[in-house]
Structure 1
């Protein structure tokens, strides 16, 4: 399933929060924040990476699911494995399985999709704060103290209700909290409430990570200045520019080359390989170039295009 990293060769999550003014984080993204992409963003200033969300009960029941959903390497650290769970015992069992291969586990309390809500996952847990707190406490008790247990939430329209939820999560033993500054109904659009994130930060003693509309290093700095958070988490912004935390305004060609090299070495399936490049190159291509490039159907075709159009050698 994975390999363990050598102790002492990297900063663990809480060490990052203690030593860095602003921790940069790659968000959990379905299909996208897998090993190859995590390896890429780590080369360009990303301090901490999350896996895609993994369904805890499937993970503990199926060896096949474990091998399919969770792949890592010795250099893939520090790493947080995010789970969807509706029961503390499921999350705890899944956490114990991955503990030798990562640095912390996270509970998704923000996914607004109907299937997740119907199963008691994601944003559903926001409406059951006592259950959520019990789950955090149960998992915290089941793991070593140096191993982080975190939660990723969305906000309510009622700021006081959001702050109270955050306090309950902290009191239950959470190591840090990630906050997507939108409500469940907003999904991925609409304004991000930096004011709410700021009030959460002021109310807690544990580190707080801000998520939502962070698409550049300048955005990260602005959010830090506005809220005082300890870290910033990006999803769409990193897909479009994996080098953004290194200060690049758009994806540099060296990053494209690095993605191709990583993909070829790991044997990434063509659709995933291509989709990432589509995101990375979108802003640097004309409409005609985008139409042609997005329609390519093979790795060889993509490599030929990149070689002829951008003089990239592989």
Structure 2
């Protein structure tokens, strides 16, 4: 009978061990926050972004920007009505997703950029904006409302910068988008400065209260153009104002930032959470890297042409983008550059560029981009305050959280005199503000929430 006792003892031991293994003992360690695969408010902090640009912001440029270190990329502005009638098609070979109009592709994207892609929408109608956003939402991670484009094709229909003089409509569109979009799709806005800092703060407060995830401010007014220097000094007060609202909203600076190194200067002056680059990226999509490409005639143009042909990017669009590229010459000579640009100017199709781009290994270019994105997640591409503020920077958080930037440096001596507008520099063919602008902006109201007075004082906060 000893064997029976031994068997019973063994069974009892096994059952005891099983119960102990199923028991959960309390852990003294703090549970880590799980990483999410979609955009959040934190995704817009400490980043360096590709700005939305007509033509220059096409798919190949966005892919090269991500390859070379852009955190997020914005597509070019798409008008709501155009997207409503677009037909979605997927290329079975390249994977390119096209939203086609009657005769051409209106918007193209690729699944590899979806986690980092913000779709910029042009709209002057909340219902149309929602309908258009729903058409494209399966292929993007965020919707950005264009409230800053000053060009007639946008403003004549009440879109773009025209929304700045109709804040009720602007905010109703953002509110409608936030209510209609699933929570994993962020809703953001991109605006320009109003002539008065006081009115700008009022507008910003209303926009932030719509529930957006981030705000981009192009540091020029509607009547200013690229030739006019951006007044980035005005942004610091806006950044502090938004920060005091306590909603965790990142403010991104746009205007006159040329690349990764220059973004340190811009953030130091403005206190912005992130920077957005337009013209610098148009000239060289690798400007997001600490070591941007040089000799672009050899290192960028041929590769760009090969990728565009593989992705079936329209030749005229490709030609426009390539002619914008320029950069420092190290080995390439001026004569070589001139000769190449003359060939591009005369070319009428990809075939005319065969001697420059051949062999047509666009598939290899695409594989290299995919590999670079997969090995170096663009969302991890962060410019932390410690990288440009040194000992004065707040401590960096670990990989689970991105710290907010808050500088204690003195604010530049720049202010808007009471009851006046900032001077508008003259510019040719610029759509100017309406004569009744003062009545169209925000009506008199209570002082903005975070401040005690409407006087645009730029005294540093305690």
Answer yes or no: same fold by TM over 0.5.
yes
Query: Match for residue 54 of structure 1?
Result: 78
Rounded Cα–Cα distance in structure 2 between residues aligned with 1:15 and 1:256:
34
CA shift at 1:305, angstroms? 4.0
Counterpart among 8, 24, 27 of residue 51 in structure 2: 27
Change (3 A) 1:272 1:61: closer
- How far off is 1:257 after superposition? 4.3
Indicate conservation of the 8 Å contact 2:257/2:277, yes or no: yes
Work out whether 1:289 is the aligned partner of 2:339.
yes
User: Which residue of 240, 263, 274 corresponds with 1:202?
Assistant: 240
Q: Could you tell me which of 118, 130, 146 is aligned with 1:80?
A: 118
Question: Counterparts of 2:169 and 2:215 in 1: how far apart (Å)?
Answer: 17
SS of 1:86's partner is coil
Relative to the length of structure 2, the TM-score reads 0.60
Matching residue of 1:244: 287
Distance verdict in 2 for CA 1:305–1:17, change over 3 Å:
closer
* 1:222 and 2:273 matched: no
Query: Is the partner of 1:70 in helix, strand or coil?
Result: strand
User: Matched residues in 1 for 2:158 and 2:59: separation?
Assistant: 28
**Pair 1:302 & 2:347 matched:** no
Change over 3 Å in CA distance of 1:211–1:301 after alignment to 2: same
Q: Which residue of 2 aligns with 1:266?
A: 311
CA distance in 2, matches of 1:291, 1:255: 13
Are 1:231 and 2:274 matched, yes or no? yes
**Structure 1 or 2: more helix by fraction:** 1
1:277 aligned to 2:322? yes
TM-score (norm: length of structure 1): 0.86
Aligned residues: 299
Question: For the residues of structure 1 that align with 2:182 and 2:357, how far apart are their CA atoms?
Answer: 47
Residue 10 of structure 1, CA deviation? 5.4
Name the residue aligned to 2:430. none
Partners of 1:46 and 1:212 in 2: CA distance:
16
1:99-124 deviations in Å (ceiling 9; x for gaps): 11111101111111223222111100
Deviations 1:148-172 (A, max 9, x none): 1111101012111112111110001
Give the deviation of 1:266 after TM superposition: 0.8
What displacement does 1:39 show?
A: 1.0
1-side partners of 2:230 and 2:174: how far apart?
Answer: 26
Distance 1:154 1:148 in 2: 20
Structure 2 partner of 1:168: 206
Match of 2:222 in 1: 184
Q: CA, structure 1 residues 264+306, in 2 after alignment: closer, same or farther (shift >3 Å)? A: closer
The alpha-carbon deviation at position 13 of structure 1 amounts to 5.2
For residues 256-301 of structure 1, what are the alpha-carbon distances to aligned partners after superposition, in whole Å with 9 as ceiling and x for unaligned? Answer: 3432332132122222223222222466462743652443314344
**Alignment partner of 1:121 out of 146, 159, 182:** 159
How far 1:139 moved relative to its partner? 1.0
Of 85-94 and 272-281, more deviation after overlay is shown by 272-281
Pick closer, same or farther for the CA change 1:249–1:79 going to 2, 3 Å: closer
**In 2, Cα distance between equivalents of 1:76 and 1:306:** 24
- Shift, 1:9, TM fit: 9.0
**Secondary structure at 2:221's aligned position in 1?**
coil
Q: Identify the range of structure 1 (164-173 vs 244-253) with the bigger mean alpha-carbon deviation.
A: 244-253
Unaligned 5+ segments in structure 2 are: 1-34, 89-97, 243-247, 359-363, 366-462
RMSD between aligned residues: 2.5
Cα distance change of structure 1 residues 306 and 267 upon mapping to structure 2, 3 Å threshold: closer
Counterpart position of 1:310: none
Q: How big is the shift at 1:62?
A: 4.4
